[in-house]
Amino acid sequence: MQNTQATQFLKELATVDEITADVQNGIGFAGSLTYNTHIHLPPNFSAFETVQQAVDLAAEQGVKVLGVGNYYDYSVYCEFVAAVQVKGIFPLFGTEIIALETDLQKQDIRINDPGNPGKYYICGKGISQFETLSKKADDYLSTIRQNDAQRMREMTDKMAVTFSDCGIDTGLNEAAVIARIVARHGCDADVVTLQERHLAQVFQEAFFEKIQLDSRVQKLTDLFGQIPKSAPHDAVGIQNEIRSHLMKAGKSCFVPETFVNLAQAKELITELGGIPCYPVLADGSSRRCEYETPLEGLIDTLKSNDYAMAEFIPVRNQPDVLTEYVKAIRAAGIVVVAGTEHNTLDLLPITPTCVGGKDIPQEVNDIFEEGVYVLAAHAFFKAHQQGGLLEQSTDREETIRRFADIGRAVLARYFK
């Protein structure tokens, strides 16, 4: 197992013995910790135009630990780690994977996607072997990328025909869509993983280029089969309507997705050196997902699936609901972290808040901070080719406490 360029800084930071001595001497990061364990960086669909913009904003907002969680390609992580080191921000590396549980789909059970039964978002936290891949990880990622690329290619072609049938010649195909993303983010074409949001944005841009403002409502009505709700100048609103009216299941441009299952997604995460992490939606859906209710049932499911970590995107949650879920999950011996995703064009604050910008309750924030320390320790151990959180066989609470102490010492060294 080799240390890669992006994670090399952890090996150079200190030896395991030195960090252990720091812990024994009571040395560790003190004070309030500002964090975000989950953002998406371009060329993933993101609120940020560039990696540097994301890092600059994090630094301006006082964020000290910043984690990334891109889909299926991690080439941008070297640029990310170089940028955060200049700004004195500690980097965490992760991934996000979409899986499908067909048995739950057949039972019409929604997991953490409120619109698609059986569809399962899972995160990998603290990944470390993402540049020198194992054969198994490479095979999984290659299969996922190929399936996604085929779907996006077919969907792009359908979109182009649908627009053309309404008298809008976009001139778009897969290569043209990728070329626009490359031009926007200054990346290489081979690191672009197309997403539905990319297609919606590019087709909206082409639409605006071709159709004058006073003709857009009629053209959109022709496209959607109904009058659009968004104003004719509202780029983001029209992108969302393009997705809902044309690209979703049952619509004219929909192409079914091909997924790995949950077991395969978890195996990929562990092959990447990471911790499988369940992203909890809770009241992020107006009608809570069946998989997550009642809360006691969710906790039993997480424990039976051997989850050591869960994550929240608190901007989706009311403070009281967030408190209820986080405290109960942590009490079950599961580490909990929090991020923002930033996977839409909304440039939200990088420090997580609850819905409407409400503060995260202090007792919940303390749990999230602990989770950040645990992740830092996991990453440190993996960089030194030692067992991470999943390889520990001691008492779970004792392991979490020890990892939190190690993580505080790691951060103290890094910031010093």
60-101 pLDDT per residue, tens: 999 999 999 999 999 999 999 999 999 999 999 999 999 999
Q: Is the pTM of this model over 0.85?
A: yes
SS3 content of the chain, % helix, strand, coil (to 5): 50, 10, 35
- Return d(Cα 331, Cα 364) in angstroms, integer: 12
pLDDT at 4: 58
DSSP three-state, residue 234: coil
Could you read off the pLDDT of 271-284 as tens digits, one per residue?
Answer: 999 999 999 999 99
Averaged pLDDT of the chain: 95
Provide the CA 35 distance to its chain's centre, in angstroms.
15
Helix (H, G, I), strand (E, B) or coil at 93: strand
Q: How far apart are the first and last CA of the chain?
A: 28
Asked whether the beta carbons of 35 and 368 are under 8 A apart, the reply is yes
CB-based burial label for 387 (10 Å; 0-12, 13-18, 19+):
exposed
In degrees, rounded to 5, the angle at the alpha carbon of residue 359 between the alpha carbons of residues 354 and 364 is: 80
Query: Cα(94)–Cα(391) distance, rounded to whole angstroms?
Result: 18
Overall average pLDDT of the 234-257 stretch: 94
CB of 41 closer than 8 Å to CB of 58: no
| Radius of gyration over every alpha carbon of the chain, rounded to an integer in angstroms | 22
Give helix 16-24 / helix 362-383 axis angle, nearest 10°: 140
> pLDDT tens digit string along 381-405?
999 999 999 987 678 999 999 999 9
pLDDT of amino acid 357: 96
Residues paired with 35 in a beta bridge = 65
The two beta strands, 309-312 and 335-338, are: parallel
Cα separation values, 77 from 6, 29, 37, 179, 190, Å: 7, 25, 14, 21, 15
* Cβ atoms of residues 314 and 280 within 8 Å: no
What CATH code is assigned to 8-132+272-415? 3.20.20.140
* pLDDT at residue 1 in the model: 33
Task: Give the SS3 label for residue 318.
Answer: coil
Domain residue spans of the chain:
8-132+272-415, 141-247
Render pLDDT for 193-235 as a digit per residue (tens, 0 to 9). 899 999 999 999 999 999 999 999 999 999 999 999 999 999 9
Tell me what the mean pLDDT of segment 41-54 comes to: 95
